[in-house]
Structure 1
Amino acid sequence: MKYVIIFSILITSFTAFAAPKSELWPYWNASNEQNTSTVSYQDWQTLLDKYLVVKGQNSLFQYDKVSNDDRDKLKNFLSDMAQINPLDYSKAEQYAYWVNLYNSITVQLILESYPIKSITKLGGLFSFGPWDEKVVTINGKTLTLNDIEHRILRPIWNDPRTHYAVNCASLGCPNLQSQAFTTQNTDKLLTQAAKTFINSPKGVSEEGNEITLSSIYKWFASDFGGLEGVKKHLLQYKAGIEFSGKNIEYDYNWNLNELK
């Protein structure tokens, strides 16, 4: 039994610090740029309007307040989303589709197991969170949250701001946006989310001779162009950060982004 416990701890520790690589799933790298129609995310927006509260520099979700009727509405929304073929739409619409799908599935996963202290408590015995669980079937292909983020969003769009768009229901994560992503507002939301996160202590914190950055900038440094790319990226949104001669530490808060 002792060895089983030790093995479990080792697996959990490894998973906690090992970020998936960006590896394209070629099937999803197609679009219909002639199609100017859009998907409706109104049902998701209604839930955000009702249960997402901005408090200080955090957006917090009122999981304990979600009614049974609204739980059903979320399930119906996800069912409707699963009937859509995103490849029929433009790349711009696809980006909004995948981000909204990811975020709404994450909220549903929390609601299904609530109350919990952290999303990392979900998943199997040797899992660190639910990200490798099969959660949705699109075009006959069963996907995990990791598939959506690391095999579709990251490699197709190659925009590091995607890390500010997808939300992992944790206090250390960039905020769940109060607006559903759309073709029209995506760039504005990404810029706004990046600026808010970087100018908050969970993004960048300076104290004495030490700078503490979100672990996102360690796990996904390659998306920003390595450490020097991370520094340039941060300075785009927060002028005056002094990296020279300072130690860089990383931190992340996995506690649930809930408002009680």
Structure 2
Amino acid sequence: MTRRVIEPVVLNAREPAGASRPLGELGAELRTRINRIIGAHADPATGYLDYRAIGETAEFRGFVGLTGGLATGRPEELPTAEAQIAFWANLYNALTLHAIVTLDIQNGVGDVHEFFRRVQYDVGGDRLSLLDIEHGVLRRNRPSRNQPARVFGRGDRRLRWVVTRFDPRVHFALNCGARSCPPVRAYDPRQLDGQLDLATRGFVNADVEIDPAARCLTLSRIFYWYEDDFGDVPGFLLAHLDPGPARDWLAAHRGAVTLVHRAYDWDLNDASVRA
């Protein structure tokens, strides 16, 4: 497959900032728009989105118009860890959606060379890519297997946006437009703990496969890439699996299981295409 090469693009650069608004207020309105888009255009069975239909709606155009206001934001407008995590998780999902529709991505985000680095928003005068938001801001600039270098170097102005608390459950709040990603949701700082718990439990219970005969767990590659974020992976799974035979078996054998990580399906999570 030939990948499209683009220059880094700030998707909200042409949208007027308008009157300055606190990021918490702007984030709440973006959250409302995202929820409406999901409600109207997500497949209830898969969570996949109909991107072509979304791009033709007034709701999407209104959402895009709101992103111009991000350019005047300041970190102190997100005073709590809950406000920060919810805002940046929603912004990650918003930027992914915005980019897929605007760049007319057909097969998957791999259509665009270095997609996660090249699509960006201006937030408070800082250019932040999907890579920056996930690894620099939400993961607190931590290295990982798939991002071994810290994305923000010493003295980087964007360090001011790093969330004050890391929560590993945020991995199940981020949707990068791939079929293997958790479904798109919008997060409210007032309900964040419950929403992250619901998202994590939903993903873990749908994803983890246990083979008792082989003493093997098959699970998402997310648990390989970010193993250090979860600490004890079997322990994390036990904390989020529903009561039942699978959880009981893992509790009895957690010290002697093999973890197998399935290949990630990077095809576009497009509801208009049947898998």
Q: Give the secondary-structure state (helix, strand or coil) at the position aligned to 2:229.
A: helix
Of 214-223 and 148-157, more deviation after overlay is shown by: 148-157
Tell whether 2:74 aligns with 1:70. no
2:62, 2:191 → 1: CA distance?
A: 24
Q: Does the 8 Å contact 1:169/1:257 carry over to 2?
A: yes
Correspondence for 1:143 = 128
- How far residue 103 of structure 1 moved from its aligned partner, in angstroms, is 0.4
Tell whether 2:76 aligns with 1:87. yes
- How far residue 186 of structure 1 moved from its aligned partner, in angstroms, is 1.1
Correspondence for 1:18 = none
- How far residue 250 of structure 1 moved from its aligned partner, in angstroms, is 0.7
- How far residue 211 of structure 1 moved from its aligned partner, in angstroms, is 2.2
CA, structure 1 residues 144+115, in 2 after alignment: closer, same or farther (shift >3 Å)? closer
- How far residue 134 of structure 1 moved from its aligned partner, in angstroms, is 4.7
Q: Give the secondary-structure state (helix, strand or coil) at the position aligned to 1:249.
A: strand
2:179, 2:254 → 1: CA distance?
A: 25
Q: Which stretches in structure 2 are left out of the alignment for 5+ residues?
A: 4-21, 141-162, 242-246
Q: Give the secondary-structure state (helix, strand or coil) at the position aligned to 1:212.
A: strand
Correspondence for 1:105 = 95
Correspondence for 1:21 = none
Q: Give the secondary-structure state (helix, strand or coil) at the position aligned to 2:189.
A: coil
Cα deviation, 1:116-137, whole Å, max 9, x if unaligned, reads 1211222x3xx3xx11115111
CA, structure 1 residues 134+63, in 2 after alignment: closer, same or farther (shift >3 Å)? closer
Q: How many residues align?
A: 214
Q: Which stretches in structure 1 are left out of the alignment for 5+ residues?
A: 10-34
2:69, 2:37 → 1: CA distance?
A: 15
Q: Percent identity?
A: 24
Cα deviation, 1:49-98, whole Å, max 9, x if unaligned, reads 2212320xx31111122215333223112223343324322122222111
Tell whether 2:233 aligns with 1:230. yes
Q: Give the secondary-structure state (helix, strand or coil) at the position aligned to 2:181.
A: coil
Supply the RMSD in Å over aligned alpha carbons.
Answer: 2.4
Correspondence for 2:265 = 253
1:48, 1:86 → 2: CA distance?
A: 28
Cα deviation, 1:17-67, whole Å, max 9, x if unaligned, reads xxxxxxxxxxxxxxxxxx9x6442322222222212320xx3111112221
1:107, 1:151 → 2: CA distance?
A: 20
